[in-house]
Amino acid sequence: MRLTFWGTRGSIPAPGPDTLCFGGNSTCLQLELDGRQVIVDAGSGIRPLGLALLGKVKQVTLLITHLHPDHLMGLPFFAPIFDPEMTILVGGWPNALAGLRRLFYSGRPVGGFPVPFDELPASIKRGPGLDPPRFSLGAYQVRTAPLSHPQGSIGYRFDGPGGPLVFITDNELPPQGVPPHLVDFCRGAKVLIHDGQYLPSEMGPYRGRGHSDWRSALALAQAADAQRLILTHHDPDRSDDEVQDLLDQARKHSGSLAVDAAAEGMVLEI
Ligand SMILES: [Zn+2]
Ligand SMILES: [Zn+2]
């Protein structure tokens, strides 16, 4: 299993000199599983991923966590949608395909990407067997879990060679303790990637917005006996130095658990 982070920023892309280290693109994760190309979320990070894939692969599976703009906005600029030999299987979140379709011109007098969805050269369709809560991708069993987020979101667990890998973004863990169903979902993860947008001291005004602080993500990873925690969905207003400070705080409390912050271009082979 090979993972590459193409977008690690939450809420909105935040390019600029202060985000060069951890990255300014919004959520996009590339997984190479058993020879298959799987992409989780189509944030702005999917644009450079598309350039890397163009002409090299003919099929990708695109799994969507939910329909907020920072997780969809990159699709119109994903170059493979203009490749007539490309097939894109869209799954995960219910109505993911309908959510992506809404980004494109539909004939109504409203804003939208100027090329109509139905005129895109690539074949973009619902992937078979991708209904939650579980399905298989080659040698991998994939499970989903509902998350705590306004309008909902889903996490993914990939069991198979190199795994388990768990990817949970846009999830607010409650202050009173980690939910048992998520502990089970993350149990024994070799790598747990989790929303760590905030510092614990920042959570007050952001309760109910659907994101977590590093301390609650750490508690989940420890309760589930995960081997490694990678914090992601970095706040758009947080500079590289501030993300590093957040990470340093988390590491002071992590004991034997390895903790990192996701960075654009980070590659893991597990
Ligand atoms: Zn988000
Ligand atoms: Zn969201």
Instruction: State in Å: Cα 55 to ligand 2 middle.
Output: 31
Least distant ligand from the CA of 233: 1
The tens digit of pLDDT for each residue in 75-87 reads 999 999 999 999 9
Instruction: State in Å: Cα 56 to ligand 2 middle.
Output: 31
The per-residue pLDDT for 112 is 82
Phi, psi of 33 (to 5 degrees): -120, 110
Give yes or no for residue 128 having a pLDDT over 90: no
The per-residue pLDDT for 129 is 65
98-107, 128-137, 228-237: which has the minimum mean pLDDT?
128-137
d(CA 80, CA 48): 11
Instruction: State in Å: Cα 170 to ligand 2 middle.
Output: 5
Instruction: State in Å: Cα 256 to ligand 2 middle.
Output: 31
Mean of pLDDT over the chain: 95
Least distant ligand from the CA of 9: 1
User: At 155, is the pLDDT very low, low, confident or very high (cuts 50, 70, 90)?
Assistant: very high
The per-residue pLDDT for 94 is 86
User: Residues 135-152: what's their mean pLDDT?
Assistant: 94
Instruction: State in Å: Cα 101 to ligand 2 middle.
Output: 18
The per-residue pLDDT for 34 is 86
Instruction: State in Å: Cα 125 to ligand 2 middle.
Output: 23
Half-sphere exposure for 164 (CA within 13 Å, toward CB)? 22
The tens digit of pLDDT for each residue in 179-198 reads 999 999 999 999 999 999 99
Cβ proximity of 80 and 122 under 8 Å? yes
Instruction: State in Å: Cα 85 to ligand 1 middle.
Output: 31
Q: Which CATH architecture has domain 2-269?
A: 4-Layer Sandwich (3.60)
Give yes or no for residue 109 having a pLDDT over 90: no
Instruction: State in Å: Cα 37 to ligand 1 middle.
Output: 22
The tens digit of pLDDT for each residue in 8-49 reads 999 999 999 999 999 999 999 999 998 999 999 999 999 999
Q: Give me the residue spans of the domains in the chain.
A: 2-269
